[in-house]
């Protein structure tokens, strides 16, 4: 039968991790009540109280499983949000050469493809927990990398726009100037409204 002190410490460590993730969701992702993880912690608390009252190993195991599930749900949410932010980043800067700023972007894309493939595969909870632990670290690093690159990418986008816009603007101004010159020449040679110009010696 479980030892109450050591088991309480184990559950406390798991709870602290779950609470840290939920606070991150609340502060960073503006989700004040993340229902899936909150529900799992509520269930865990109920089983833990039963375990304390009856010292039933099954209740302890259920409490532990619910806390682990809360951690899983929180990490899954954060990983999915990371992927959405990266997808928005790619859409926003699709016209810019990202590799000019993020030199290992091709390697990052390969890693993202692997992560998406892993997410699409059905896995048992224990396997998924390990998977999300790895994903969480990888995606967190990728998000930090792309967000750090945004100021430089914005500069590149402005430079590219000016490089494309200025020649077009010059061409339009040249055409308008040519039309203006041509219309003035016709005015001088033909007179007002197309009537022949009157000369002084007539």
Residue 81 pLDDT: 85
Can you say how many angstroms the Cα of residue 32 is from the centroid of all Cα atoms in its chain?
A: 19
Mean pLDDT of the 30-45 span: 76
pLDDT at 20 over 80: yes
Distances (CA, A) of 91 to 73, 84, 193: 27, 11, 54
Please give the DSSP secondary-structure letter assigned to residue 98.
Answer: G
Task: Report the range of poorest mean pLDDT among 13-17, 35-39, 91-95.
Answer: 35-39
Q: Could you tell me if 63 and 11 are in contact, meaning their C-beta atoms sit under 8 angstroms apart?
A: yes
With contact defined as beta carbons under 8 Å apart, do 40 and 67 qualify?
A: yes
Q: pLDDT confidence of 128, banded at 50, 70, 90?
A: low
More confident position, 50 or 131: 50
Tell me what pLDDT residue 88 has: 92
The DSSP letter of residue 31 is -
Task: Give residue 1's pLDDT.
Answer: 46
Q: What is the percent of the chain with per-residue pLDDT over 70, rounded to a whole number?
A: 73
What is the pLDDT averaged over residues 10-33?
A: 76
Residue 168 pLDDT: 72
> Given pLDDT bands bounded at 50, 70 and 90, which one contains residue 124?
low
pLDDT of residue 162: 54
Q: Determine whether 182 is exposed, middle or buried from the number of CB atoms within 10 Å of its CB (0-12, 13-18, 19+).
A: exposed
State which of 31-45, 120-134, 175-189 shows the largest mean pLDDT.
Answer: 31-45
Q: Is the pLDDT of residue 173 over 80?
A: no
pLDDT at 112 over 80: yes
Q: Report the pLDDT value the prediction gives residue 122, as an integer from 0 to 100.
A: 56
| 146 contacts 102 by C-beta, under 8 angstroms | yes
Please name the residue that has the structure tokens 């077009």: 168
Compute the distance between CA of residue 138 and CA of residue 112 in angstroms, rounded to an integer.
Answer: 9
């Amino acid at each position: 039968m479980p030892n109450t002190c050591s088991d309480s410490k184990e559950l406390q460590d798991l709870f602290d991790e779950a609470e840290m993730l939920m606070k991150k969701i609340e502060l960073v992702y503006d989700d004040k009540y993340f229902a899936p993880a909150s529900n799992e912690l509520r269930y865990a608390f109920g089983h833990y109280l039963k375990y304390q009252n009856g010292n039933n190993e099954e209740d302890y195991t259920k409490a532990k499983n619910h806390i682990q599930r809360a951690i899983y749900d929180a990490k899954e949410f954060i990983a999915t949000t990371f992927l959405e932010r990266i997808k928005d980043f790619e859409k926003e800067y699709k016209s810019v050469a990202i590799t000019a700023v993020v030199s290992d972007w091709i390697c990052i894309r390969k890693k993202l493809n692997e992560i998406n493939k892993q997410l699409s595969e059905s896995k048992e909870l224990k396997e998924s927990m390990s998977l999300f632990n790895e994903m969480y670290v990888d995606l967190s690093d990728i998000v930090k990398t792309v967000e750090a690159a945004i100021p430089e990418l914005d500069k590149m986008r402005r430079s590219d726009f000016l490089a494309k816009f200025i020649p077009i603007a010059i061409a339009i101004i040249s055409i308008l100037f040519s039309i203006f010159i041509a219309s003035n020449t016709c005015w001088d040679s033909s007179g007002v409204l197309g009537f022949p110009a009157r000369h002084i010696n007539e």
